[in-house]
Structure 1
């Protein structure tokens, strides 16, 4: 396993660009119906069982609408951060318009695929169609994935530390009989630590593959799929190894300052995303400084648990677990309604934005292709 990575030695390393037909199976406006139906199903269930709409609408009338505006601004700040980050790591090769399309379609792809699956191939395809080479597209998608995982790796222990320092439970105290309480609490903690552990392992593999030994990474994948029923995955393992080598070569020239800027921008993006919920809860319940820390820390724990959700965009899972984490700040009669409102802020808009801009983007890339063909003729 050679750790030498000279671009001249990678000429025979080839990787397939994402299959367009497969990409458009995911990047499909018809995909919005699945998460919407799941979300609506959970919403109807919660509405019938847990929401007292008279109390909720009364709370809505008395709410502080400045905080709703602040929540929306946090959402805009997060998206602006995403657009700035992808433009920055592409060394401004992408225009602002291309960067905006990329982020909105990437969010749409994430919203219609389970968190455990992700939308790497879709993201690579989108960047490639916006004018980046396949190698750069793969490298930048891997870089952003590593940066996002780094946020969780750093902030999850901080959430635990803060909860211990200020003596509050980062995992919710569930009101039930002792057996159910124990089972549910241990289940949440178990899901958190399993998800966090997988995130760390995933990040370490990326670090090893991108910065230490890309060829060794490929060798490990190929060897791991050399036995028994795993042999059927060997061609995909080889493909993944080649993609890592190409991405590693592309990122090899990235300066240290770029990574530092990208890390801080990533922290800004996720903090803005989480503060949106702080603002939303503040609209109904005044929060002191320590309460904001509590809400923020619990959201990190909740988000890591949601990473294991098998449903598109964590539909159903997010609505179901919201009140477990935040009923202490919101009355039981309308906690679920605020959870649905939370999803309406940060999740459902991207489904409908994707629905609106995807046809326009397809027309846009088709025009680019026609222009290239015309230039060659």
Structure 2
């Protein structure tokens, strides 16, 4: 039997209850703790005494700018139906959802629900979330060739992996890029040219033996594309320019954070800073296949492979991993646990807060 709206809301709120922060925190901190235990040597953390305060301030500014960019983008994409307060709540809970759900699922799965509860129709909510997903993918598709051209073979962590592992990573990176490119092209065609044909293609594709179990989801996704197309057609060029620029802004800021943290403790050239930025796109591929909430444990464990050579000792690298995850992951677990009850009280009423917290 299909779920009622109340049942769907209960399921989604259950996914977001603050108690879910316990597991990813335990996984992430356990991995970092093990890494410290395995590598610690007296004196390895000496660079902390010479930390460059201006780079730490730049890191904070980049984080604030990134969040402001997300808030601005969702308000713009929603055609300013959302107030600044509503936009802030949506982004904080969206980020929280990305932290407590597996990376492959992410906050996008609950975003239409958030927008719908802010008074936006379901059709438009799905359309706005699809726009953000499409623009995120297009940024990746455009940026990858640029970083490959600039970084060359140094894009891959040869210094940390043997030849066979590097080749596997290269193949995974290329395949992921091709899949994102293909999916982006399909979404562009569906949203702006012929959504019905894409819907039929998806249904036929998932009608083959071995893929039929996902046919209903493919049909649902096809319907969502049709609804989204109907909502988005007619938007002026300025709408898409601002949405694209804000997307480029937030993702560029997101990829700058690691470089800013490392620069606070290690002297580096601008070329190395650019290479760190470039390796973020490879690092992202690893996080996309993570099955743990928010990539907990996997993000920490993979970090030294991609960025360790720029930092120095394993112990110092582990400290940078911990700081990076604090400001980009654990912070949003805490903020989500603060914003979520207030949002539930505002949207559902205070009685629902107790129900969610105690479930």
Same fold (TM over 0.5): yes
> Do the aligned partners of residues 192 and 232 (structure 1) sit closer, same or farther apart at CA in structure 2, a change above 3 Å counting?
closer
- Closer, same or farther: CA 197–53 of 1 in aligned 2, 3 Å: farther
Does the C-alpha gap of structure 1 residues 225 and 185 become closer, same or farther in structure 2, counting only changes over 3 Å?
closer
Segments of 5+ residues of structure 1 without an aligned counterpart are 1-15, 371-377
Q: Please name the residue that 1:302 is paired with.
A: 283
Shift of 1:101: 0.4
Distance in 2 (alpha carbons) for counterparts of 1:34 and 1:199: 30
Question: Does structure 1 residue 265 correspond to structure 2 residue 253?
Answer: no
Match of 1:40 in 2: 29
CA contact (8 A) 1:195 1:307 kept: no
Larger mean CA deviation between 135-144 and 358-367 belongs to 358-367
Asked if residue 354 in structure 1 is aligned to residue 343 in structure 2, the reply is no
SS of 1:97's partner is helix
Give the number of the structure whose alpha-carbon radius of gyration is greater: 1
Confirm or deny: 8 A CA contact 1:109 1:119 kept in the other structure: yes
Unmatched segments (≥5 aa) in structure 2? 353-359
Is residue 2:126 matched to residue 1:138? yes
Deviation at 1:70, TM superposition (A): 1.1
1:64 to 30, 48, 52: 52
Which has the larger displacement, 275-284 or 96-105?
Answer: 275-284
State the SS of the aligned residue for 2:110.
helix
How far residue 222 of structure 1 moved from its aligned partner, in angstroms, is: 2.0
Runs of 4+ that moved beyond 6 A: none
Q: Which residue of 2 aligns with 1:20?
A: 9
User: CA shift at 1:230, angstroms?
Assistant: 3.7
User: What is the correspondence of 1:107-126 to structure 2 with a 5 Å cutoff?
Assistant: 107-126=95-114
Are residues 1:288 and 2:277 paired?
A: no
Alpha-carbon distance between aligned partners in 2 of 1:241 and 1:247, rounded to the nearest angstrom: 10
Contact preservation (8 Å) 1:156, 1:301: no
Q: TM-score with structure 2 length normalisation? A: 0.91
Distance in 1 between residues matched to 2:173 and 2:145, nearest whole Å: 11
User: In 2 relative to 1, CA 131–63 (structure 1 residues): closer, same or farther, beyond 3 Å?
Assistant: same
SS of the residue 2:81 aligns to: coil
Change (3 A) 1:267 1:335: same
- Using the size of structure 1 for normalisation, the TM-score is 0.87
What does residue 245 of structure 1 align with?
226
Task: Look up the SS of the partner of 1:284 in the other structure.
Answer: coil
SS at match of 2:301: helix
Q: CA deviation at 1:144?
A: 0.2
Q: Distance in 1 between matches of 2:350 and 2:188?
A: 35
CA gap of 1:108–1:193, structure 2 versus 1, over 3 A, is same
Q: May I ask how many residue pairs the two structures share in their alignment?
A: 348
Task: Measure, in 2, the Cα distance between the counterparts of 1:141 and 1:78.
Answer: 18
Quote the offset at 1:143 in angstroms: 0.1
Separation of aligned partners in 2, 1:80 and 1:368: 28
Residue in 2 that maps onto 1:172: 157
Separation in 1 of the partners of 2:215 and 2:169? 35
- Displacement of 1:229 after TM fit? 5.1
Cα distance per residue 1:266-288 (max 9 Å; x no partner) = 11111111222221111011222
Q: 2:294 aligns with which of 313, 328, 334?
A: 313
How far, CA to CA, are the matches of 2:343 and 2:51 in structure 1?
A: 39
Structure 1 position 98 matched with structure 2 position 86: yes
Q: What is the root-mean-square deviation of aligned Cα atoms in Å? A: 2.2
Q: Does 1:332 align with 2:313?
A: yes
